[in-house]
Chains A and B, each alone.
Chain A
Amino acid sequence: EAGVAQSPRYKIIEKRQSVAFWCNPISGHATLYWYQQILGQGPKLLIQFQNNGVVDDSQLPKDRFSAERLKGVDSTLKIQPAKLEDSAVYLCASSLTGGGTEAFFGQGTRLTVV
């Protein structure tokens, strides 16, 4: 079974630039999560989708971050403009139905903002 695919693996940008990350979840998984993991901390949920609808985006900095999952399959997360404090690993995960089912994680995208 193919896992959660994320690209790119690494990205270096200057502050105030924009960046986009892509995630392709496991086939058939209805729930998709984006997490931000800053070095030395646990993953922090940014947004959770159920199919193409948003379940939770309470911790998404909406002035600069946006995410979409247009057809209920793959998803993109965008940052515009980036700040130094956005340097982190951005993790995408998917699960079959959400509550009570295992979340499978991708390798993540390591973003460095300079």
Chain B
Amino acid sequence: AQSVSQHNHHVILSEAASLELGCNYSYGGTVNLFWYVQYPGQHLQLLLKYFSGDPLVKGIKGFEAEFIKSKFSFNLRKPSVQWSDTAEYFCAVEGLSGNTPLVFGKGTRLSVIA
């Protein structure tokens, strides 16, 4: 079964700082990769996804993520964070071999301060 590891539990940044959140997964086959975001008091929503093709994917609100197959990583980046990016970020992976479920990491809480 696949698993997901998110390196940072809580990240605190000042506005305009650059962001990189780490995500590594373990799975022996082809995967679909996702980043979900949960703003305070709101439900989980999709930020971006990778299925195939260009390993650099762009999502909403200026976020992007790069899939590095050799490192089993799918790190999330944003060049300049805003206060409104304060949220919990979850990396998720879904294996394509058979009926493998969508598995989430433990999440990274991002706090952006003015």
* CB of B103 closer than 8 Å to a CB of A: yes
Which residue of chain B has its CB nearest to the CB of A45? B101
87-109 of chain B: CB within 8 A of chain A: 90, 94, 96, 99-107
23-63 of chain A: CB within 8 A of chain B: 33, 35, 40-45, 48, 50, 55-56, 58
* CB of A67 closer than 8 Å to a CB of B: no
Query: How many A-B Cβ pairs are below 8 Å?
Result: 59
User: Once bound together, how far apart are the Cα atoms of A108 and B101, in whole Å?
Assistant: 19
Q: Are B32 and A105 within 8 A (Cβ)?
A: no
Q: Are B51 and A100 within 8 A (Cβ)?
A: yes
Which residue of chain B has its CB nearest to the CB of A106? B43
Other-chain contact of B105, A42, A56, A105, A106 (Cβ < 8 Å):
A42
Closest-CB distance, B26 to chain A (whole angstroms):
15
Give the A interface residue count (CB, 8 A). Answer: 26
**B residues near A50, Cβ cutoff 8 Å:** 99
Binding site for A on B (CB under 8 A): 1, 4, 6, 32, 34, 36, 42-46, 49, 51, 90, 94, 96, 99-107
- Known contacts A35-B104, A42-B6, A45-B104; 8 additional CB pairs below 8 A are A40-B106, A41-B107, A45-B102, A48-B101, A99-B94, A99-B100, A105-B43, A105-B44
Which 4 A-B pairs rank lowest in CB-CB distance, beginning with the nearest?
Answer: A42-B104, A105-B44, A42-B106, A55-B99
